[in-house]
Structures are given as C-alpha cells and as structure tokens.
C-alpha cells in the first residue's frame, strides 16, 4: 500500500484545482452553455493549441480529475496556490498531448509495448521505476519486487490500478520526449569554422587606443524625442519588440493595522500562553497546538533566530523566555536543554560543472573549468555571482545554496564524504568530483550534531474584526467616491497620506501584483472584457492585512504592438541614436592625434588605452563591454585608425596598436566541445519554445479562473 501511494504521488499531477460547486450552484449549467456573463465573455473556449480548441467543460473535467487524485493522495483539499498549480500542470499536459504529439507523430517517434515492458521490468529500467522500487533502507533496487507487484496489480482497488496506468503513461511520454530531444540535439553540429572562430575570439589579443564620447555625456533633457521618431524606430525594429497582452494598474492600499486595544489584548494572550507553557506536561505538543507559525522542537544553532542566540547562553532548562519580536510575530520559548544526534547537519553551496559527455577529454575540460572558477573565488571573486553564471543545476539561481542537509546518504557518497570530512566553514580548497561532475564548494554553516530543545509558541499580532470593519468602510467609501482614474488622481493630490502603488505590464495569468501574492482577483478584474483603461474597480479587494482599490492605467495587446507598450525602452534607444548622430557629426573632419581631437571636441571626450583585450571578453574601460566597438577594433589592421563610428554606449575613433595573434592550433576539439556543451544545455529550452511558438497557443484561462 505504501508503494502504490508513492507511485501515485509521483505519477499524478502534483497539484490541485479549486472546487467550483458553489459557482455551478449560483449560475447553473448556463456557464457551460455560453449564456453566462460571469467571466466577461460568452465563449466556451478556454484556449487553443496547435489549431485544436480547448473547451472549458473538457479542461475543467481534467482539473477535477487531478483534484480528486490530489485529495486522495494527501487527504486534504488544495489551497489556492495548489489550485493554480494544478491548472498550470493540466494546461502543460495538454500542450504535451497536442502540440508535442503532433511533432512526435510526424517523425514516427513512439514507445512500443515491448519497450515499455523493458523500461518497467526488463534490462533498461526507467529511472522513475528504479526510484519507486528501491529499498530506502538498503538503497538497492530489486526487479523481483516490480514483477511481484505487477502480478498482483489486478487484485488491487480500481483507483490503484488507474494510478499505475497513469504512471506507465507518464514514463512512456518521458521516453518519447527524450527521444525527440536527443534527435534534435544530435542534429546540432559544430563545424571546424565555428570552433576556429571561438578559439580566435577567446585567444587572440589586441591593444588599442581610442577616443570615446559616452552617450551619458549629453544630458537626456537636452534631447527631445518625438512620437514620430518612436513610431519610425518601432517600424524598423518590430521583430525586437514582441507584443503581449498586459495591463498596468495603480491602486490605493488601505492597511489594516492593529489598534492600541488590539495590542493590549494580544499581550494578555501571550502572557497567559507563557504561564500555560511553563506547566505543560508535553511542552512541544502544547507549543505546536498554540502557534500561528510552527517551528521544529529540535533545532541546530544555525537555525535559531539571531535575537534568541544572543540570550541563549543565559537559558536554564525549564525556563520560559521572551517574547522575541520578528516583524508582527512574537515568540516565547521553553528551553529543554541540549541533545547530541548521531547524524551531523551542515549547510553548503556549490557550483556544479558537468562534462558534456562521459569521454575523458570532456571530463578533463570540465575539471579545468571548475578549477579556474575555484581560482577566481580564491582571488576574491563572488562565489554567489559565479554560481549564477556557471552552475549547471537548479541551485545556480540561488547562488548555489544547497540548504541544510545531514550525512544520511541524501547526497552523492563522494560529495557527502568530502563535505563532512571538512572542518569549519568557508571555501573548500579543492574540487569535489562526483558522478554528476566537478563541484566548487563553500561550507556556509559548519557541521554539528548538537541540537537545542526549544518549544516555541509563535503568535502573530492581528487586528480585531472591529478594526478590519472600520478600515473596510473607509476603503469602500473611497471606491464609491472615486470610480475612475481621473477622480483617483484628484484624490491623490488632496490626500497626501493616501498610499498609492503601481504595477506595470501584468500578464493574463499572473497571480501576484507586486508583493500581493494572492492577487488573482485583481488581475482577472483588470483583464475583464468590461474593464476599460481608466476604470476603477468600484469594489474593494481584500489582500492579507490590507484592502485594495484598483484602477487600470494602460493595456497592451499581443497582435497590436504600439509605441506606448515600449515607450521607455524606445525613448532610450532613439535618444541614444540622436546623441550618436550629434556626437559623430561634431567629430567628423577633425584632424590630429586622438588627444587633439578630444581637446577640440570639448567636455565629455575621453582618450583611453587597453591592453591584451580579447573579442570574447573584452572590457573597454569606461565604455565597458561594447560589442560593436570590440568588433570594429579587432577588425582593424595594426597601426590603423578607424573612422568615427557609433557603438553600443557611445561614439568612438579607435586605433589598433598591435597585440598577440592566436597561435596556430591543430586540434579544435576542446572548442568544439565548449560550443556543443552550451548548445546541449540550451536545447531543451529552445525546443520547448519552438514547439509552443509553432503551435500558436492561445491561453484564455484568465477569463475563467
């Protein structure tokens, strides 16, 4: 039974959908017959994928099935966030079933019955099957468990048989997609010319002296950009500005802050809980039952809040301490002493450099790259920045942070052995090699097996219902008195204490508005067919501890790109274009050395020199990594001067002073591998984007949820 539960957790769509029974009760079946205006549209279509219309009835049925699976697996209904997640996953599954399947079918890619059997119980076990049937105590996979399970499958309840069917379907789809992506990757070939070009860009060095007049030397206020110029620029560069359906809003926020009376009542509650905690027979259970925010009873030193750490040395076993304040949450603690664990806990960050393949040359290249990164960090470079730039796993965007972990086999054996053999915190001196690649590692919290027994009651101060009602009345009166954007702007001028926020370019399916995490209702209102630019919400939206009154200030459309959609970006580009023309015109026909030309130009002109610059990673001092300038300078002959030209960041006149050409190279394999590895890393993303673009996906879920 435990096994099939695990399979259902993995095979089902791990999310849920909101129940719509109340909606059906209120509006009846008209909602699915095109008669309801509840969602601002009479259409039954929730979207279109690869020319196939998706009706709300069909989509909702799949959502309800996934909801039932979720409830059966977890024993509870979904939260709002989980409901949103399940709708996304049902939609993504439809994209896979329709758009991807057309691509698979066109190429004749499929998984035969024999191949499926081989993945489940044959010689090439699918990783998901291996994971499900691995003994957690021994860490060993036993195929006989799979065979025995399948023999008994027909004796299991129907829902468990269905769970297995879904599981087999999921691994079959995973295999088909892997075949397709591998086919696409194998079709990507790096030529000798590409490798030679990359070698030259990385290796050939040049020296240069150049005159540079940055765009910022001319004040923006002195350049007047006309709408006609913006229109002309957009028309010439329309491929660079893709349209999207967005809304921009302003909103007034009315925070609900606990009153003095609310605070007094809260402190009385905290005092009573502290007294009860002191005499509770099971202090940890009592703390859990009475906390708004639950925290573990056994915690390592690193997990203890800083304010508590400062007083921890004074704690006596059985004593009550606090309250400690963290935002609006107050915590009281009962200290139970120390506990030594058999396992150690630590926290670390890493930068994974994975080889492009299993060949010795690829491994050597990956090791060299990892050692180079380690050397940069030892030289003072930021570990987190280099992790974001180079990391090849999901931790990269978090600066490589792995969080806290124990020496219980949760990490690769060689990784765990190296880290828990390291004493203290800081950068590990050498590279750690695992089956995944080469790791640069920084221990952020040293290993420890000491835990602290802290029964914590965490209570968040909240306003009373009377306080909430009073603020709502104020917000509701404001909404009724200021029904459109014009009156809202007048109100802002009259009341300087009114809190106003902006949210630009909200997308159709956005669930957050700035720091308002569950703002789906506001977004749906903004995209409603009956909501126009300039309209006010008229109703008050409740968001956590505040009330919101919103106004639509702008909109953009996917099929109708306008200057207004990209006014800020376009204005900056056109302004720099005009500055470039002005500067270039002033520099033309000036003679003499670069210093003489700079002096003749006047304020703003700089003459700078750079040494040993490469085309791949050159920095031109004040001008930065100006790609146009780097290319123009690299293309000059030694001792020659360029004409005046406009770069990315300003206007240049450049002289090439020589350099060190790239030595002749007989074998470009390493550079071929570099390019191939980068292409491989990006291929899944590019394939996915290409299929979705080709499918002409129209997503109208925002009208219904």
The 8-class DSSP code of residue 224 comes to P
Shared-domain flag, residues 17 and 157: yes
Amino acid 394: pLDDT: 85
Say which residues have a Cβ less than 8 Å from residue 196's Cβ, sequence separation at least 6. 665, 668, 671
Q: Which structure tokens are listed for 358? A: 């299993």
Shared-domain flag, residues 402 and 510: no
Amino acid 358: pLDDT: 82
Does residue 140 lie in a domain region?
yes
Instruction: Provide mean pLDDT across the span 292-304.
Output: 86
Shared-domain flag, residues 405 and 472: no
Amino acid 27: pLDDT: 34
Instruction: Provide mean pLDDT across the span 146-173.
Output: 88
Q: Is the pLDDT confidence value at 10 over 80?
A: no
Q: How many CB atoms lie within 10 A of CB 617?
A: 10
Instruction: Provide mean pLDDT across the span 79-101.
Output: 89
Instruction: Provide mean pLDDT across the span 272-282.
Output: 93
How does pLDDT run across 544-586, given as a tens digit for each residue?
789 999 999 999 998 899 998 999 999 999 999 999 999 999 9
Does residue 280 lie in a domain region?
yes
Ranked by mean pLDDT, the top range of 78-92, 592-606, 658-672 is: 592-606
Shared-domain flag, residues 262 and 252: no
Task: Please report the DSSP string for 549-586 in residue order.
Answer: EEEEEEEEBTTB--GGGGHHHHHHHHHHHHHHHHHHHH
Percent of the chain scored above 90 by pLDDT? 58
Shared-domain flag, residues 128 and 275: no
What global pTM score does this model have? 0.58
* Matching residue, tokens 């079933």: 97
Say which residues have a Cβ less than 8 Å from residue 619's Cβ, sequence separation at least 6. 610, 613, 625
How does pLDDT run across 510-529, given as a tens digit for each residue?
889 998 988 999 999 999 98
Q: Tell me the pLDDT band of 328, cut-offs 50, 70 and 90.
A: confident
How far CA 276 is from CA of 266, 279, 316, 334, in Å, comes to 15, 6, 18, 11
Does residue 45 lie in a domain region?
no
Shared-domain flag, residues 309 and 401: yes
Signed CA dihedral, 596, 601, 604, 609: sign only: negative
Q: Which of 560, 595, 630 is the last residue of a domain?
A: 560
Does residue 688 lie in a domain region?
no
Q: Is the pLDDT confidence value at 14 over 80?
A: no
Report the alpha-carbon distance of residue 264 to residue 260 in Å, rounded. Answer: 6
Q: Is the pLDDT confidence value at 416 over 90?
A: yes
Residue with more model confidence, 138 or 119: 119
Domain that holds residue 650: 205-238+567-660
Shared-domain flag, residues 161 and 57: yes
Q: Which of 401, 431, 462 is the last residue of a domain?
A: 462
Shared-domain flag, residues 553 and 593: no
Q: Tell me the pLDDT band of 590, cut-offs 50, 70 and 90.
A: very high
Amino acid 3: pLDDT: 34
Q: Which of 502, 530, 560 is the last residue of a domain?
A: 560
Q: Is the pLDDT confidence value at 39 over 60?
A: no
Nearest to 266 by CA among 459, 465, 458: 459
Task: Please report the DSSP string for 165-227 in residue order.
Answer: HHHHHHHHHHHHHHHHHHHHHHT----HHHHHHHHHHHH-EEEEEEEEEEGGGS-GGG-PPPH
Q: Is the pLDDT confidence value at 33 over 60?
A: no
Does residue 200 lie in a domain region?
no
Q: Tell me the pLDDT band of 20, cut-offs 50, 70 and 90.
A: very low
How does pLDDT run across 370-391, given as a tens digit for each residue?
999 999 999 988 999 999 988 9
Shared-domain flag, residues 76 and 159: yes
Shared-domain flag, residues 264 and 251: no
Report the alpha-carbon distance of residue 43 to residue 39 in Å, rounded. Answer: 9
Q: Which structure tokens are listed for 27? A: 């509006």
Does residue 690 lie in a domain region?
no
Amino acid 41: pLDDT: 42
Shared-domain flag, residues 309 and 408: yes
Q: How many CB atoms lie within 10 A of CB 566?
A: 22
Q: Tell me the pLDDT band of 1, cut-offs 50, 70 and 90.
A: very low
Does residue 388 lie in a domain region?
yes
Q: How many domains does the chain have?
A: 4
Shared-domain flag, residues 458 and 383: yes
The answer to whether the CB of 658 falls within 8 A of the CB of 638 is yes
Amino acid 156: pLDDT: 86
Report CA Rg, the chain.
32
Q: Helix 485-494 and helix 465-481: axis angle, to 10°?
A: 120
Instruction: Provide mean pLDDT across the span 220-247.
Output: 94
Does residue 198 lie in a domain region?
no
Whichever domain contains 308, its CATH number is: 3.10.50.40
Q: What is the 3-state secondary structure (H, E, C) of 414-447?
A: HHHHHHHCCCCCEECCCCEEECCEEEEEEEEEEE
């Amino acid at each position: 039974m435990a096994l099939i539960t695990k399979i259902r957790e993995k095979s089902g769509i791990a999310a849920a959908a909101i129940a719509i029974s109340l909606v059906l009760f209120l509006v009846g079946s008209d909602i699915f017959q095109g008669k309801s205006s509840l969602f601002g549209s009479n259409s039954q279509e929730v979207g279109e994928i690869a020319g196939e219309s998706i009706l709300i009835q069909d989509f909702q049925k799949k959502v309800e099935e996934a909801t039932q699976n979720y409830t059966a697996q977890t024993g509870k209904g979904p939260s709002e966030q989980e409901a949103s997640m399940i709708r996304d996953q049902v939609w993504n599954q439809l994209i896979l079933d329709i758009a991807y399947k057309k691509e698979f079918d066109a190429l004749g890619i499929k998984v035969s019955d024999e191949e499926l059997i081989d993945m489940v119980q044959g010689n090439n076990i699918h990783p998901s099957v291996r994971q499900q049937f691995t003994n957690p105590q021994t860490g060993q996979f036993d195929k006989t468990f799979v065979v025995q399970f399948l023999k008994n499958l027909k004796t299991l309840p129907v829902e468990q048989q269905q769970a297995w069917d879904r599981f087999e379907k999921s691994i079959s789809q995973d295999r088909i997609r892997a075949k397709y992506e591998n086919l696409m990757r194998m079709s990507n070939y790096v030529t000798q010319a590409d490798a030679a070009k990359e070698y030259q860009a990385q290796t050939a060095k040049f020296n240069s002296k150049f005159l540079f007049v940055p765009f910022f030397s001319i004040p923006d206020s002195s350049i007047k950009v006309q709408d006609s110029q913006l229109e002309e620029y957009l028309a010439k560069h329309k491929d660079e500005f893709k349209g999207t359906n967005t809304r921009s809003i302003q909103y007034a926020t009315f925070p609900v802050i606990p009153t003095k009376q609310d605070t007094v009542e809260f402190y009385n509650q905290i005092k009573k809980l502290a007294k009860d905690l002191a005499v509770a027979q099971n202090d940890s259970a009592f703390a859990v039952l009475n906390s708004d925010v639950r925290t573990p009873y056994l915690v390592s030193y690193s997990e203890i809040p800083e304010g508590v750490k400062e007083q921890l040395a004074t704690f006596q076993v059985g004593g009550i301490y606090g309250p400690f304040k963290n935002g609006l949450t107050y915590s009281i603690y009962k200290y139970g002493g120390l506990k030594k664990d058999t396992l150690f806990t630590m926290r670390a960050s890493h930068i994974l450099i994975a080889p492009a393949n299993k060949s010795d040359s690829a491994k050597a290249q990956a090791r060299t790259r990892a050692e180079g990164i380690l050397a940069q960090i030892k030289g003072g470079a930021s570990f987190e920045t280099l992790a974001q730039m180079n990391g090849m796993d999901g931790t990269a965007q978090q600066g490589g942070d792995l969080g806290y972990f124990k020496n219980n086999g949760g990490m690769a054996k060689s990784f765990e052995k190296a880290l828990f053999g390291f004493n203290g915190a800081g950068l590990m001196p050498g590279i750690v090699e695992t089956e995944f690649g080469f790791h640069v590692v920084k221990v952020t919290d040293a290993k420890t097996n000491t835990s602290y027994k802290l029964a914590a009651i965490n209570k968040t101060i909240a306003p009373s219902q009377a306080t909430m009602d009073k603020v709502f009345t104020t917000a509701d009166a404001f909404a009724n008195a200021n029904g459109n954007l014009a009156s809202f702007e007048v109100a802002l001028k009259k009341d300087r204490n009114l809190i106003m926020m902006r949210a630009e370019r909200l997308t159709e399916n956005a669930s957050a508005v700035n720091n308002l995490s569950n703002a789906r209702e506001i977004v749906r209102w903004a995209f409603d067919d009956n909501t126009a630019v300039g309209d006010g919400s008229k109703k008050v939206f409740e968001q956590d501890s505040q009330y919101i009154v919103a106004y639509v200030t702008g909109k953009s459309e996917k099929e109708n790109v306008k200057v207004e959609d990209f006014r800020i970006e376009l204005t900056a580009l056109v302004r720099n274009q005009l500055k470039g023309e002005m500067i270039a015109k002033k520099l033309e026909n000036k003679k003499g050395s670069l210093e003489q030309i700079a002096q003749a130009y006047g304020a703003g002109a700089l003459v700078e020199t750079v040494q040993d610059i490469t085309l791949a990673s050159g920095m031109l001092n004040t001008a930065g990594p100006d790609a146009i300038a780097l290319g123009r300078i690299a293309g000059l002959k030694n001792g020659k001067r360029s004409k005046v030209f406009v770069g990315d960041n300003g206007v240049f006149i450049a002289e090439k002073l020589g350099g060190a050409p790239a030595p002749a190279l007989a074998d470009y394999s390493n550079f071929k591998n570099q390019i191939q590895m980068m292409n491989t890393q990006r291929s899944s993303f590019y394939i996915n984007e290409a299929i979705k673009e080709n499918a002409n996906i129209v997503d109208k879920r925002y009208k219904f949820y």
